[in-house]
Each structure stands twice: as structure tokens, then as C-alpha cells.
Structure 1
């Protein structure tokens, strides 16, 4: 059994985490932009294929959602 009072070489906060941070940033970016793409596609298809719907109405609504989503989801500039 390990001695709980023994000293080990690990010091909390001392490991390099740049690779984990970049992987997390990539995952969050793909999740964010992928969700917007799915939402735009669903809006277009619902408005196009509903009874009495049209392709033009779906395309316009999808374009508006895409533009609003891009402005809402883009990275904010840092205040440094």
C-alpha cells in the first residue's frame, strides 16, 4: 500500500497542457460550427418540405439564420 505521506515528483500545475488546450479548442469549434450547420439545414428542410412550403422561403430563412449564427458564434477579440 502506498504511503500517503511520501513525497513524489508531481507538482500540481507543472505539466505542459498546450496540446490538451488546443484539442479542446478544436473540439469546441467543431461542435459550435457543426451545430450551426445542422440548425441551418433543419430550418431550410422544414420550411421547404412543410405543406405549402417553398424552397425560396427555406433558403431565405436558412441564410438569415446562418448570418446571425456567424455573428453570434465568432470569437471575440481579446481585450489585452
Structure 2
């Protein structure tokens, strides 16, 4: 049986756009989750406790700051 000719060669395709899309998706998911967590915390403390808006705002800012420190890019990894 004759083999089919193909232009595809395993490992030779340029994947720059796929890698860029993956990093964009991961970044948007990471920072969007932090934003939503801080917003949810602010609204929960503001409306569901007697602490009020200022306590909710302070808590949301602290969580956002800690989240930023934990989630920021640490530079290029070795792999």
C-alpha cells in the first residue's frame, strides 16, 4: 500500500500563537479570580456582617495585596 504524502512533520510546527494564547488565558483566569475573590469578600463583609463598608474595603485591599504578591510573575522558569 502506498504511503500518503503529508506536509506535517512532528515537532516542526510553529506554536508561538498557541503559547501566547495559553499564557493570556492563564493570566486572565488568575487575575480575574483574585479580583472576584476580593469583590466577593468586600460585599460579604459589607452586607452580611455588622462590620460595614470600611472593614470590608480594608479586608479586600489586604487580600488583593497578598494575592498580588503570591500570583505575580516570578520571572522565567527553568523548564
- Aligned-residue offset at 1:23: 0.7
CA RMSD of aligned residues (A): 1.8
Of the three residues 50, 53, 58, the one matched with 1:52 is 50
Is residue 9 of structure 2 the alignment partner of residue 6 of structure 1?
no
Q: 1:14-55: CA deviations, max 9, x gaps?
A: 100001110111111101000000000000000000141310
Q: Which runs of 5+ in 1 are unaligned?
A: none
TM-score of the superposed pair, with normalisation by structure 1: 0.85
Match of 2:20 in 1: 22
